[in-house]
Every structure is written in structure tokens, then in C-alpha cells.
Copies of this chain bind each other. A is one copy, B any other.
Amino acid sequence: MERIMAKKRNGPGRPGGQTNLSDSILDVAEVLFADKGFAGTAMRHVAEKIEANPALINYYFSNKENLFRAVFLRRAEKITEARMARLAELEAAGGYGIEDLVRAFLEPTAALLETPQGRSFLRLHSRLHMEPEEIAFDLRRQVYQVSTRAYAEAFAALLPGMPRRRVYHKVSLMVGAYLYAFSDTNRLGELTEGLGAQEEQDGLIEDVVAFVSAGMRAGQG
């Protein structure tokens, strides 16, 4: 007995109806790049997951590197924008402290923890930050240079007398701390054992904010 439900088209040619495979490709590529890295991800496997031909990915994204860029930029640009918006709000409101600044920086990424797809991006994002390949630097600079520098200056203003070098070190430490904490590769379970996966995460964001805020203030004049 044949099924009547929408069956995948099986030959060449433009399919009937509307398609939006571009977004599907980005979604599955995001998961694969997160789990297997750039080199470890095969275009063929991306294609298989959307049940399409590999050539289709090249049709939409030209090549693998460009696909990776698209996956990364789709979310990273929103993160930067949100950080800049949050910083502008703080400045408009007048006085703010270290902890406000830390929250403004971290919360746009912490929001991604709420969905599986967002968590995939966070893993991808953490990996990218530990990679010395030139493409990784390019992408990070392109998206984050301006906003990270703006935050570094804002921190410096709240830490009068602290040398710029130290402030930059601290910004790096903040970034490393949240990347790892949000990457879900730390496998806290290895340490905790007793706790369930959900309980482990309880209060994580507040703990990150407290830890980083205290670290930022350390050694103030």
C-alpha cells in the first residue's frame, strides 16, 4: 500500500511548491560542524541529512568554507549586535557597574543555551575560539573585534589605574571561562556523578557572572 503523504522528490529538476533548503542546510551543518569540526564534517553528510544531493549545497553556498562562514555569521552577528545594544543601554542609563557589564556581555550567548540548536552553535563557537587556523581568526575578528574592544574600554573605565594590558588579559579570561562553561564539553558529570544532567546546569549563569565579576575586580587600586 502506497503512502500518500509528501514523499521526497526522487529525480532531478525543480521540485513543486516552496522550498527553503538554505535554512535547513545551515541547521544541519551547524550540528555537524559543532560535533565533528570543520575538517571532520563531510559535505556529503550534510547533504544526506537533508536528503538532498551534495551539489545542492554548492549551489546555495559555493563551497565548504563559505558554508561554514554562513553558519557562524548567522548567529555571531546577532550576538555582537545584542552586545552593542546592551552596552548602549547601559550608557544611556547613566551609572553602571562591573557586574552589569558582565551580564550585558554574557547574556546574549547564554540565551542560546535554551535550545538544542543554540547549544550546537555554542559548541561550534567554542571550538572556533581554540583554533589557530587563519579562517578562525578572520571570522572572529570580523564579527567580534569592534564589540569586544568596546567592552574592554568600558571595563577599563570602571577600573581606573589598571594597565590596559591587564584589562585585556581579563577580557580574555572572561571569554575563556564562559566559552568552556557554555560549551557543554566540560562534562561536569565526570566530577559530580551524583547530580542529574539538568541539576548540574542549575545556577550556572549566575555562577559565571559572579566568578567573572570578581575576577574583573581583582587587583583594583
Chain A interface residues toward B at CB < 8 A? 34-40, 123, 126-127, 129-133, 136-137, 140-141, 145, 148-149, 152, 164-166, 168-181, 183-188, 190-192, 195, 199-200, 202-204, 207-208, 210-219
Most chain B Cβ neighbours within 10 Å, of A40, A131, A190, A203? A131
The residue of chain B having its C-beta at the shortest distance from the C-beta of A187 within the complex is: B137
Q: How far is the CA of A216 from the CA of B35 in the complex (A)?
A: 31
Known contacts: A127-B130, A218-B210. The answer to whether A176 contacts B186 by CB under 8 A is yes
CA distance A192 to B214 in the complex (A): 23
Partner of A214, one of B148, B179, B214: B214
Known: A179-B130, A180-B130, A180-B180. A203 touches B165 (CB 8 A): yes
Instruction: List the number of copies, as a whole number.
Output: 2
Select from chain B the residue with minimum beta-carbon distance to A180: B176
Question: Max chain B CB contacts within 10 Å: which of A36, A148, A211?
Answer: A211
